[in-house]
Amino acid sequence: MKYQTVIGLEIHAELLTHSKVFCSCSAEFGGEENIRVCPRCSGMPGSLPLFNRGAAELAVKAGLALNCKINNFSAFDRKNYFYPDLPKAYQITQFNHPICSDGYVDIGTKKIRINRIHIEEDAGKLIHDEKRKISLADYNRCGIPLIEIVTEPDIRSAEEAKAFTAEVALALKYAGVCDAKMEQGSLRCDVNISIMPESSKVFGTRTEIKNLNSLRSIGRAIEYEFSRQKKLLESGERVIQQTLHWNDATGVTTALRSKEEAHDYRYFPEPDIPPMFITDEEINTISKAMPEMPSARKARYLSLGLSDADASLLIADKALSDFFDLAVKSYQNPKSVASMIIVEFLRHINDSGFSVEEIALPPADLAQLCKMADEGTVSRSAAKDILKQMLKTLEDPMEIAKKENMLMSNDTSAVEKTADEILAANPKAVEEYRGGSAKVFGFLMGQMCRTLGKSANPAIIKKILEEKLNS
Amino acid sequence: MNLKAILKTATITELSAGLKNKNFSSVELTTAYLERAKALNDKTNAFITIDEEFALKSAEKADELINKGKQKPLTGIPLSVKDNICTENIKTTCASKMLEDFTPFYDATAITRLKKQGAVIIGKTNMDEFAMGSSSGTSYFGGVKNPYDLTRVSGGSSGGSAAAVSASMCVAALGSDTGGSVRQPAAFCGITGLKPTYGAVSRYGLIAFASSFDQIGTMAKTAEDCGILLNAIAVKDEFDATCHTAPFKNCLKDMEKGVEKLKIGLPKEFFGDDISGDVKSAVFNAAKTFEKMGAEIVEVSLPDLKYAVAAYYLISSAEAASNLSRYDGIKYGHRSKTGKSYEDIIKNSRSEGFGDEVKRRIMLGNYALSSGYYEAYYNRAVKIRQKLKAELDDIFKACDFILTPTAPTTAYKIGSFDKNPVKMYSADICTVTANIAGLPAISTTCGYDKKGLPIGMSLMGKAFSEATLIRAASTFEKVFERREAQL
């Protein structure tokens, strides 16, 4: 029998606030354990949460970026459960009244509906020391603001799940809501998955795969879980509703807990935080201040004359696209800048293994290099070498060109002298050319360039060489 | 000057004047109170911690302020604080084995405010464990005894604060009131207790029992003293999101105006069969006194009062179950020596660290919130809460405040309700509505029963009407003959 997969996603994204969501501790990532902790985020007796309104603003931005309705009234609830990484033994979240609802993301082939986006706090981290047989708790992450984006069960394949997640990650990055670094855990994904016969309309029993932190593992986990559930059904067994853990190394899912052991979270309204009201005016203000989103940016690139492929490639990496925009600001030749970035710059980046942000090259420097090549100050081939050097030393392109003697010389006397010498040294080639073989011109050009070095202007060499040969 | 003699009847106003006139220094005053507190603590068990060193240091600082002419109403005044209000570097136990050794590294906002005025905190008072109880008998450190009769309870949960003020071990104290925990022990111990409007005093640093009910209150021998303390601690505080941004500037204004033309409501539901005869007649007599002084008495009704106790216990226990979940033995507090897994450690730590009453409320609260029961219990209680609020709103259209008993009886014998907790819960009938609706209420002594035990009456008004309540209570106190506890 043919089966189809039914998937719903829950994406957790860390908000880019400076401080935590219910206290004033810094919301930075990494560093020494338990240094960004206070009575509030560590749940000390008598402490009370204080809501960081900045988190609400970012959540509204996320809602706008994902085509959601922004709710004027939202409220916090407590989700109660015991775990050592949760110092209050409850998580403050929004259960009954989320801040955003009813959105969608267009993944090209279809629209995936978003049920809701709500604000909640992150838990700490446990570090298990196998050698000493102890577990340590690090509360730095406690109280980092998160939004949880919950979809409707509209996704039907691993590809769609990956495309949706990538679109969400990109939209959140553009909106300035989340840096969406899956490898650092600032964007994580829970997958709810069930299968049913292709003709069926009734969903099967679902399982939930927790905490996937790369597009690749989302895809692999879905493929694995699909075949696992299929095998069960085909052998006449039932799928059990349970929570699963994905092991990226072994490529299998294992059960964390089944429905019978499922937590009863005993949600109830958080009495320490009054409900939140956001006026239409406030929503409008945020909406007006929204940064350019990927689709708008792509349209702008097309209007600048970029090809669809180039425009898509640029916007897919926000940092690269921002780099392009800054470069174009200082040299208004978008096509030339795009070509330099996509053909040369991107190749170096990929080879280096660093991201665009990590390479500190000023966009204006790359723009200057483009301009130098376009105006014939340096040759195109010299420009490639200069870029390589710039990425290493971050020197100014003009400095490099001067130092490496790559500035094109417009002194024709040296070219003429060399041409005379080369033609004299290669009588056979000259004869062949004059006999009608155009092919040999390339050979003579090569000889000229080698002798004259990078500073020679190929256009001038070509012109003089042609003149001499045709005279 | 014989300080020892003065202490027995002193008020904040009198002591403040004594300090100002240099009749005595704060160090002398504090020393005298400390001596009395130490001497009487064996009898009353009012204090869990008496911190002499800190008290005397604070007194020295206060004397400096007074000498520099920077005296404020509470400068140099010896106070005590209920042991569920966090005090930096002083143990704050909630009268629980769970927090037996817990020393906060931060002050509650109310404490910061007291320190700002140069008040002297002499110690931390005994209470029901985590403020759960109405007798102060659930304390891990043993119950508090009533200064009027040491075989009887002090009331609770702020029983230690009430007994300490009543026995003149300090001049005034902070308590906390979740369902009557300031007013009922004040009534039992013959003093005055004020539960402010929800949001008037910051809850930051008050160890939570039931967050939507909890409020720090003030306890003293007079309503005026309660007001002086409230003026000091009721300020806007950004550390507590439920704290009002501008509670009131001064709750002691127009004190000389008396009660003339005030409309006082007598809700008949508060005078049912469960209220003892002595209590009823004392409160009715007080109503007559108010009438004589120019107030008008009107009959009002709160028909849904009969559901108040049930609604209160459901919601407060639900919040408590969640609030007390953080005590898992991992970060601070009691940790069991047995158990190898996380689950075992928290189970054992909580089983060993909490007393029976706390466990009872945690179980009740979790039950009320659990899936399948939420609608029937928690949600229905919330609806009753809304209904009672609406009924009270109506009542306060017809009168300035209502006058009721504070408790159905006077202080009972220690251990009376040990086997029947529900009966003890029902005795909160007179006090819980103020917490359910977040309204202010003050209890002051209005009589003594045949055994000479104090009887309290309560004045409850609309939100932020503290000034009216204090003025009315104070007007009554001026014509009422108060009897000190003989200890």
The count of structural domains within chain B is: 1
Q: Which CATH class is domain A412-470?
A: mainly alpha
* Residue among A361, A365, A360, A364 nearest A396 (CA): A365
Question: Where on the phi/psi map is residue B264: left (φ > 0), alpha (ψ -120 to 50), or beta?
Answer: beta
Q: Considering CB atoms only, which of A45, A88, A266 is closest to B370?
A: A266
**Separation between Cα atoms, residue A426 and residue B38, nearest integer Å:** 117
Contacts of A80 in chain B (CB under 8 A): 321-322, 325, 369
Does the beta-carbon distance from B241 to A49 stay under 8 Å?
Answer: yes
* Residue B24 predicted with pLDDT over 80: yes
Residue that is written with structure tokens 């002051």 in the block: B444
Alpha carbon of A208: minimum distance to chain B alpha carbons (Å): 20
Contact A414, A457 (CB under 8 A): no
* Mean pLDDT, chain A, whole residue set: 92
Q: In what order do the strands lie in the sheet with B47-50?
A: B47-50, B120-125, B78-82, B172-177, B215-220, B192-195, B441-448, B454-461, B401-405, B263-267, B296-300
Angle among Cα B159, B160, B165 to the nearest 5 degrees reads: 100
Q: Is B21 helix (H, G, I), strand (E, B) or coil?
A: coil
- Structure-block tokens of residue B62: 């206060």
Across the strands, what pairs with A259?
Answer: none
Contacts of B102 in chain A (CB under 8 A): 45
Confirm whether B426 is a catalytic residue.
no
Does the beta-carbon distance from A80 to B322 stay under 8 Å?
Answer: yes
CATH assignment at residue B260: 3.90.1300.10
* Residue among B70, B34, B82, B32 nearest B54 (CA): B34
Contacts of B370 in chain A (CB under 8 A): 264, 266
Q: Considering CB atoms only, which of A45, A137, A266 is closest to B369?
A: A266
The number of residues making up chain B comes to 487
User: Nearest 5°: phi and psi at B269?
Assistant: -60, -20
pTM of the model: 0.90
Instruction: Please tell me the predicted confidence (pLDDT) of residue A428.
Output: 87
* Residue B1 predicted with pLDDT over 70: no
User: Nearest 5°: phi and psi at B257?
Assistant: -70, -20
Confirm whether B68 is a catalytic residue.
no
**Separation between Cα atoms, residue B370 and residue B461, nearest integer Å:** 35
**Separation between Cα atoms, residue A448 and residue A466, nearest integer Å:** 12
More confident residue, A256 or B121: B121
Sketch the domain layout of chain A as residue ranges.
3-282, 292-403, 412-470
Does the beta-carbon distance from B319 to A271 stay under 8 Å?
Answer: yes
Q: What is the DSSP string of B442-461?
A: EEEEEEE-TTS-EEEEEEEE
B313 CB contacts (<8 Å, ≥6 apart)? B364, B425
Task: Give tens-digit pLDDT for A424-454.
Answer: 888 888 888 888 887 888 888 888 888 877 6
**Separation between Cα atoms, residue A41 and residue A24, nearest integer Å:** 9
Residue of B80, B154, B181, B443 marked active site: B181
* Residue among A273, A343, A325 nearest A74 (CA): A273
Instruction: Please tell me the predicted confidence (pLDDT) of residue A422.
Output: 86
Instruction: Please tell me the predicted confidence (pLDDT) of residue A259.
Output: 64
* Residue among A52, A51, A100, A54 nearest A74 (CA): A100
* DSSP state, residue B213: T
Chain-centre distance for alpha carbon B284: 24
Beta strands per DSSP E along A38-164 = 69-70, 73-74, 77-80, 90-93, 100-106, 111-121, 125-129, 134-138, 145-151
In the predicted model, residues of chain A with pLDDT beneath 50 are none
Residue that is written with structure tokens 């204006």 in the block: A364
Residue that is written with structure tokens 């659930």 in the block: B138
Residue % of chain B over a pLDDT of 90: 94
Q: Is B198 helix (H, G, I), strand (E, B) or coil?
A: coil
Alpha carbon of A20: minimum distance to chain B alpha carbons (Å): 15
**Separation between Cα atoms, residue A11 and residue A117, nearest integer Å:** 9
Task: Give tens-digit pLDDT for B47-101.
Answer: 999 999 999 999 999 999 999 999 999 999 999 999 999 999 999 999 999 999 9
B256 CB contacts (<8 Å, ≥6 apart)? none
Contact B296, B263 (CB under 8 A): yes
Which helix or strand (DSSP H or E) is residue A244 part of? strand A242-247
* Mean pLDDT, chain B, whole residue set: 96
Residue that is written with structure tokens 């300031």 in the block: B182
**Separation between Cα atoms, residue B453 and residue B188, nearest integer Å:** 7
Across the strands, what pairs with A10?
Answer: A150, A190
Task: Give tens-digit pLDDT for B391-408.
Answer: 999 999 999 999 999 999
Contacts of B330 in chain A (CB under 8 A): 84, 87, 137
**Separation between Cα atoms, residue B323 and residue B325, nearest integer Å:** 6
More confident residue, A378 or B282: B282
Q: Considering CB atoms only, which of A42, A51, A90 is closest to B331?
A: A42
Chain-centre distance for alpha carbon A155: 21
* Residue among B204, B200, B321, B241 nearest A46 (CA): B204
Q: What is the DSSP string of A34-73?
A: T-S--TTTTT-TT------HHHHHHHHHHHHHTTPEEPSE
Cis preceding linkage at B157, omega within 30: yes
Does the beta-carbon distance from B239 to A48 stay under 8 Å?
Answer: yes
Q: Angle of helix A280-288 relative to helix A53-65, nearest 10 degrees?
A: 70
Q: Considering CB atoms only, which of B108, B208, B241 is closest to A274?
A: B241
* DSSP state, residue B222: S
Across the strands, what pairs with B461?
Answer: B401
- Residue A111's CB is within 10 A of a number of other CB atoms, namely 13
Using pLDDT thresholds of 50, 70 and 90, give the confidence band for residue B148: very high
- How do B401-405 and B263-267 pair as beta strands? parallel
More confident residue, B226 or B340: B226
Name the residue of chain A whose CA is nearest to B94's CA: A45
More confident residue, A464 or B437: B437
Does the beta-carbon distance from A88 to B325 stay under 8 Å?
Answer: yes
- Structure-block tokens of residue B487: 């200890």
Contact A173, A180 (CB under 8 A): yes
* Residue B114 predicted with pLDDT over 90: yes
Across the strands, what pairs with B9?
Answer: none
The end-to-end CA distance of chain A, in Å, is 80
Contact B435, B213 (CB under 8 A): yes
Angle among Cα B221, B117, A49 to the nearest 5 degrees reads: 95
* Residue among B152, B150, B151, B172 nearest B161 (CA): B172
Using pLDDT thresholds of 50, 70 and 90, give the confidence band for residue B376: very high
B375 CB contacts (<8 Å, ≥6 apart)? none
**Separation between Cα atoms, residue B257 and residue B242, nearest integer Å:** 32
The end-to-end CA distance of chain B, in Å, is 21
Give the domain extent around B265. 1-487
Helices (H) and strands (E) counted in chain A, each on its own, are: 16, 16
More confident residue, A416 or B358: B358
**Separation between Cα atoms, residue A460 and residue A135, nearest integer Å:** 73
Q: Tell me how far CA of residue A315 lies from CA of A5, A165, A311, A312, in angstroms.
A: 30, 16, 6, 5
